[in-house]
Amino acid sequence: MKTFQCSSCSNKVFFESTICVSCQRALGFHPETRTVVALEPQGGNGAFRKVERKPDARANDLLKYCANARHGVCNWLTSESDATGFCRACALNGTIPNLTEPGNLAAWRDLEQAKKRLVYSLLRFGLPFSEGNLPKGPLVFNFERNSGTGHLDGVITIDVTEADAVERERQRQHFQEPYRSLLGHLRHESGHFYWMLLVEAAGKHKLKRYRDVFGDEREDYRAALARHHAQGPAAEWQARHVSAYASAHPWEDWAETWAHYLHMVDALDTAEATGMEPRAAGFKFGAMWTFKPSNVYRDVSFAKLMDRWVPLTIAMNNLSRSMGHDDFYPFVISAVVEEKLAFVHRCICDKSV
């Protein structure tokens, strides 16, 4: 993710910021420009004008906060004239948690933050998710308690209990996972949606290529998951899959690989934006300087992406260990998994929906 600055005073601010601690102006995330903007009330009806150091006369549309801002779960902006009242990300919500139940508001806040990061990445990739002419979808999020987590025809259901850090850690240990997070869940489930869009709906050739790389998804899905839960992962799954769960079924393999690819791109983007990455990758300034800033969401080959990713993860793991934490990146990428990640990369580049 890019770094953000207050459009009024240039103070560094966060993706989630609602107020600038330097100039005290209200802040909101503007999805169209993917910037955090400072706001000035206009007319007293909850409408705001964007405050900029160099005002752009063309960009004088009035804005308002998403309707979910009143619950403290969203800082995204929408046009003042938008009738739904919801931002682009909250407009995707089908069910929100029952806010009269204790703990649900805090859980929803965490879920929204994770979802916003996912939607930010989708916007950066230019991937469609709610456009009217999609062959599948649109993407919908249901946040429900004790519902189980999963995907069906574009509808992503996330069990609100996943937002409980203690419960999530218990599940992580139970399933012997090295990594479990809300953002990971959301990225994984979005993978099932984009499989339908970028692979299944993209024609026979794409589907055949997918089967060559990931296996045949026509294998009985329920039976495969039952087998995985009863007997554990496939033997030596590390050689062929990014995670143990990915070995359960070719659909899960794709979704796990997809999520992993999104982790990589977002983390690389952040590392580049914060100036960490060239040093982590061992580049030297001056004559040896070969690093050119780039948009890792759009114009980087997969080989280049991997070249940059591996040194960064080693540096980050060392940093984590210096703080006494577990590894930042508890994964090993085999050659087969690299090929699977490259396939996801190509699907996103093609966007053949």
Site for Zn ion in 268-327 (CB under 5 A): none
Contact region with Zn ion (CB under 5 A), list: 122-130, 169-177, 254-262, 270-278: 254-262
Please tell me the distance from the alpha carbon of residue 90 to that of residue 128, in angstroms, as a whole number. 15
Contact 65, 75 (CB under 8 A): yes
Question: Coil, strand or helix: which one is 321?
Answer: helix
- Residues 6 or more apart whose Cβ sits within 8 Å of residue 288: none
Contact 107, 160 (CB under 8 A): yes
What distance, in Å, lies between the first and last C-alpha atoms of the chain? 25
Q: Which of 23, 333, 336, 349 binds Zn ion (CB under 5 A)?
A: 23
Nearest distance from C-beta of residue 191 to Zn ion, angstroms: 7
Contact 76, 48 (CB under 8 A): no
Give the number of other CB atoms < 10 A from CB of residue 123: 16
- Residue tagged 């992962």 (tokens): 233
Q: Which of 76, 214, 309, 343 binds Zn ion (CB under 5 A)?
A: 76
- Residues 6 or more apart whose Cβ sits within 8 Å of residue 174: none
Three-state secondary structure readout of 30-76: ECCCCEEEEEEECCCCCCEEEECCCCCCCCCCCEEECHHHHHCCCCE
130: contact with Zn ion by CB under 5 A? no
Contact region with Zn ion (CB under 5 A), list: 14-22, 124-132, 232-240, 292-300: 14-22
> By rule CB under 5 A, what string of x and - marks binding of each residue 83-102 to Zn ion?
----x--x------------
Q: Which of 39, 74, 155, 305 binds Zn ion (CB under 5 A)?
A: 74
Nearer to Zn ion, 77 or 305 (CB): 77
Q: Which of 92, 199, 255, 344 binds Zn ion (CB under 5 A)?
A: 255
Please tell me the distance from the alpha carbon of residue 271 to that of residue 66, in angstroms, as a whole number. 29
242: contact with Zn ion by CB under 5 A? no
The verdict on whether omega for the bond into residue 138 sits within 30 degrees of 0, i.e. cis, is yes
Q: Which amino acid is at 324?
A: G
Nearest distance from C-beta of residue 6 to Zn ion, angstroms: 3
Question: Coil, strand or helix: which one is 151?
Answer: strand
35: contact with Zn ion by CB under 5 A? no
Contact region with Zn ion (CB under 5 A), list: 15-23, 118-126, 204-212, 294-302: 15-23
Q: How is 74-112 classified by DSSP, letter by letter?
A: --BEEETT-SS---TTGGGEEE---TTSTTHHHHHHHHH
Nearer to Zn ion, 188 or 240 (CB): 188
Contact region with Zn ion (CB under 5 A), list: 60-68, 203-211, 227-235, 298-306: 60-68
22: contact with Zn ion by CB under 5 A? yes
258: contact with Zn ion by CB under 5 A? no
118: contact with Zn ion by CB under 5 A? no
Q: What angle do CA 88, 1, 157 make, to 5 degrees?
A: 45
66: contact with Zn ion by CB under 5 A? yes
Nearer to Zn ion, 11 or 238 (CB): 11
Q: Which of 4, 6, 17, 264 binds Zn ion (CB under 5 A)?
A: 6
Nearer to Zn ion, 6 or 199 (CB): 6
| C-alpha gyration radius of the chain | 21
140: contact with Zn ion by CB under 5 A? no
Contact region with Zn ion (CB under 5 A), list: 4-12, 49-57, 261-269, 296-304: 4-12
Nearer to Zn ion, 116 or 124 (CB): 116
238: contact with Zn ion by CB under 5 A? no
Binding site for Zn ion (CB under 5 A): 6, 8-9, 11, 20, 22-23, 66, 68, 74, 76, 87, 90, 252, 255
